[in-house]
Structure 1
Amino acid sequence: MVSDGNSDKSLLVSLIAGGTAGGIEATVTYLKLAAFEYAKTRVQLHEDSPTQNPFRVIRNVIQQEGPGALYKGCSALIVGTVAKDAIRFISFDSIKLAFKDPQTGTLSPARNLLAGIASGVVASTFAVTPTERIKTAMIDDARYTKRFTSPWHATKTLIAEHGLLRALYRGYITTTLKQASTTSVRLGTYNILKDFERLRDIPQTTATTFANGAVAGTIVVAVTQPFDTLKTRAQSVRGAGLKEAFTSVIADYGVRGFWRGSTMRLGRTVLAGGILFTSYEWVAALLTPILDKRMLPASE
C-alpha cells in the first residue's frame, strides 16, 4: 500500500523519502534507459546527423564510440538525482504545509504550481545545475576531444579552467527555468491529481500512484522540453548564454528544434515519474510510523 495522504509527512520523512525515491528512480531509469538520455542530449547539441530516431542515434554512437559511451555522465546524474529529489520534496512539502487549506488539507491548483516553482529553484541552486553541467559537459566532450576520464576529472578540469562558479554554474538561468517549470508541472500535476482523488475518496493504491506519476511525467515533457533544450546548449563544454542558446537552436533547426529530443526524454520521464512517486509514497509510509514513534515523549 501507499500512504493515503491524509496525514502530513514530517519534513525529515520528506527529505529521506525524496532522496531514496530519487536514488531508486535514477538507478532504474538511468541504468536501463541511459542510452535514451545520452541520445537526447546528443541531438540537442549541434549534431551533424539530422535524425531524431533514438535507436539510430544509439546505433551510431555504439558503432563509432562503443557501448560504454552511452553511460557518459550517468554517475553524475544518479548522484545529482538523489540530492535533487531530496531537496525538492522537502521544499515542496514545506510550502504545502504553509499554504494548504486547513479544512481540506489540499492546495489550489495555482498554489500547487507555485510550490513546485519555488522547490525547483531551490533544487536547481543546490543540486541540479552543478550535476547537469558535468553530465552535459562529459557527453559533449565525448563527441570530439575526449579529455574527461570521469565526473571527478571533468569537475576538476572545468574548475581549473573557469573557476568554481563559472565551471559548475554555467547555464544556471536555463537550468533553473527548466527545473522550476519541470518541478512545478510534475509535482503540481501529481498533487492536483492526488487532491482530486482524495476529495472523491478514490483509494491511493500503488497502481493509482504510478499512473498519476506517469501522467505527470508525460505533461512535463510536452510543456518543458524547450527549457531542457536551452539548458543542454548552455551547458555544453563551450557553453552559451541564454540568448546565444536560443538563437543557435533557431538557426540550426527552427522553432521545432526546441522540442528536439522529446521522444527520447519521454521514454524515460514517463517511467521515471511512476517510479519516483510510487517509491516516495512507499518509503514515506514506511518511515512515518517509525519516526513518529521515536519523536513521541517517553511515558512517565
Structure 2
Amino acid sequence: MSSSHAKTRKEKPIHSIIAGTTAGAVEAFVTYPTEFVKTRSQFGGSKEGPIGIIRTTVREKGITGLYSGCSALVIGNAVKAGVRFMSYDQFKAALVDKEGKLSAPRSLLAGLGAGTMEAIFAVTPSETIKTKLIDDSKRAVPRFNGLLHGTAMIVREEGITGIYRGLFPVIMRQGANSAVRFTTYSTLKQFVQSNARPGQQLPSSVTFGIGAVAGLVTVYTTMPLDVVKTRMQALDARTQYRNSFHCAYRIFTEEGIFRFWRGTTPRLTRLVLSGGIVFTIYEKIIAVIGSGSAGA
C-alpha cells in the first residue's frame, strides 16, 4: 500500500490474485479455531466464554470440532483475499494523483471499494455457509455432512438467497474492514519507511507487526457489524429478524449495547494474526513473482 507521501504502482491483476489467494488460504487455516470460537460466542443464547467453548467443543467433538466449517472459510478466504488485493490495487491505481501519490482519504475510498467487491463475490457465500455449518455442529446429530453436503442442503431448502443471507451487513463490515485495515497499514508502513534508509526493504517481522496493529484497529471499529452479520446468517435468522436493522435493534434492546462486542477476544486474536500473516505473505509473494515491492 501507499500513503499520501509515497508513489504507488499498479500491480498486475494476476500477481495480486496469486499472492492474495495464497496469503488468504494460509491465514484462514492457521487462525480458524479463533473464528470458530468467535462465531459460536455470537449466537443468541450463548453464555460461554472463549475458554468454555473450546473445552466443551473438544470434549464433545474432539480437536477436529474446532475446525467445523473450516473448508468453507479457507476456500472463501483465499478467494476473498485475491479479490481484495486485486480490487484494492486497481482502485488505488485509478485514484492516484498526477504525481503517482495516494492520499489517505483516497486510500480509504479504495479500501471501501475493495471491501464491497470481496463481500459480494466471496465473503457472503463462504461466511454464510461457514456460520450455518458451525451452528449445525451444536446439534447432537448434525444435519450437514461437510461442506458440499451442507451447501447443497442450504441451496435446496432456501434457494440461492440462502447463501447470500446477511449481504448488507457483510458489505458494511468488509467495506469498513478493508478501509480501516489498508489505510492503517499504509500510514504505519509509510511512517516506518520514512525513518529507514532509502530503498531499504522492510523486514518480515516489521511487516508482520504493522499488519497486526492494522488488524487490532480494525476489530474494535467494526465489531458491531460482525455480530449483526453472524446473527443474520444463523440457521434461525429467517424466523428471528426481518432485516439487518431489526436484528441490530433486537440485540440492542434485548441484550444491551455490549453484546455488539461479544466475541471480540477470539476475533481480535484472529485479525491481529491474520493482519500480520496476510500482509507478510502477500508482500513476499509479490516480490518473488517479479513485481518488486508490493503496494499493499
Q: Report the TM range for the smaller structure's normalisation.
A: 0.7 to 0.9
Q: 1:65 Cα deviation (Å)?
A: 3.9
**2:220 corresponds to:** 222
Post-superposition CA distance 1:23-43 (Å, at most 9, x none): 22223222xxx1x21111111
The separation in 1 between residues aligned to 2:246 and 2:135, in whole angstroms, is 17
Which of 72, 79, 89 is the aligned partner of 1:76? 72
Q: Is the 8 A contact 2:10 2:90 kept in 1?
A: no
Structure 1 residues 233 and 11: alpha-carbon distance in aligned structure 2, compared to 1, 3 A threshold: same
Tell me the SS of whatever aligns to 1:288.
coil
**1:89 corresponds to:** 85
Structure 1 residues 137 and 168: alpha-carbon distance in aligned structure 2, compared to 1, 3 A threshold: same
**1:153 corresponds to:** 149
Tell me the SS of whatever aligns to 1:148.
coil
**1:295 corresponds to:** none
Tell me the SS of whatever aligns to 1:149.
coil
**1:19 corresponds to:** 21
Tell me the SS of whatever aligns to 1:80.
helix
Q: Is the 8 A contact 1:112 1:192 kept in 2?
A: no
Which sits farther off after the overlay, 109-118 or 7-16? 7-16
Post-superposition CA distance 1:54-103 (Å, at most 9, x none): 11221122234443322111110000010000001000000111112343
Which of 276, 282, 289 is the aligned partner of 2:284? 282
**1:29 corresponds to:** 31
The separation in 2 between residues aligned to 1:18 and 1:7, in whole angstroms, is 17
Post-superposition CA distance 1:4-34 (Å, at most 9, x none): 987542222112111111122223222xxx1
The separation in 2 between residues aligned to 1:264 and 1:106, in whole angstroms, is 36
The separation in 2 between residues aligned to 1:226 and 1:270, in whole angstroms, is 18
Which of 251, 261, 264 is the aligned partner of 1:262? 264
Structure 1: state its 5+ residue gaps. Answer: 291-300
Tell me the SS of whatever aligns to 2:48.
coil
Aligned length: 279
Which of 230, 233, 238 is the aligned partner of 2:231? 233
The separation in 1 between residues aligned to 2:9 and 2:108, in whole angstroms, is 21
**1:296 corresponds to:** none
1:98 equivalent to 2:94? Answer yes
Which stretches of structure 1, 4 residues or more, deviate above 6 A after TM superposition? none
Q: Is the 8 A contact 1:99 1:111 kept in 2?
A: yes
TM-score of the aligned structures, taking structure 2 as reference length: 0.88
**1:167 corresponds to:** 162
Q: 1:117 Cα deviation (Å)?
A: 0.7
Instruction: Tell me the amino acid that sits aligned with residue 83 of structure 2.
Output: I
Q: Is the 8 A contact 1:45 1:233 kept in 2?
A: yes
1:208 equivalent to 2:206? Answer yes
Q: Is the 8 A contact 2:29 2:70 kept in 1?
A: no
1:185 equivalent to 2:180? Answer yes
Tell me the SS of whatever aligns to 2:290.
helix
* Residues 64-143 of structure 1 aligned to structure 2 (within 5 Å): 64-103=60-99, 105-143=100-138
Structure 1 residues 107 and 197: alpha-carbon distance in aligned structure 2, compared to 1, 3 A threshold: farther
Structure 2: state its 5+ residue gaps. Answer: 1-5
Which of 250, 263, 269 is the aligned partner of 2:252? 250
Q: Is the 8 A contact 2:9 2:93 kept in 1?
A: no
**1:55 corresponds to:** 51
Post-superposition CA distance 1:207-250 (Å, at most 9, x none): 22111100101001111111110100000012242023213322
Instruction: Tell me the amino acid that sits aligned with residue 18 of structure 1.
Output: G
Q: Taking every aligned residue pair, what percent have the same amino acid on both sides?
A: 39
Structure 1 residues 181 and 112: alpha-carbon distance in aligned structure 2, compared to 1, 3 A threshold: same
Q: 1:289 Cα deviation (Å)?
A: 5.3
**1:298 corresponds to:** none
RMSD value, Cα: 2.0
The separation in 1 between residues aligned to 2:131 and 2:162, in whole angstroms, is 12
Q: Is the 8 A contact 1:178 1:224 kept in 2?
A: yes
The separation in 2 between residues aligned to 1:268 and 1:119, in whole angstroms, is 20
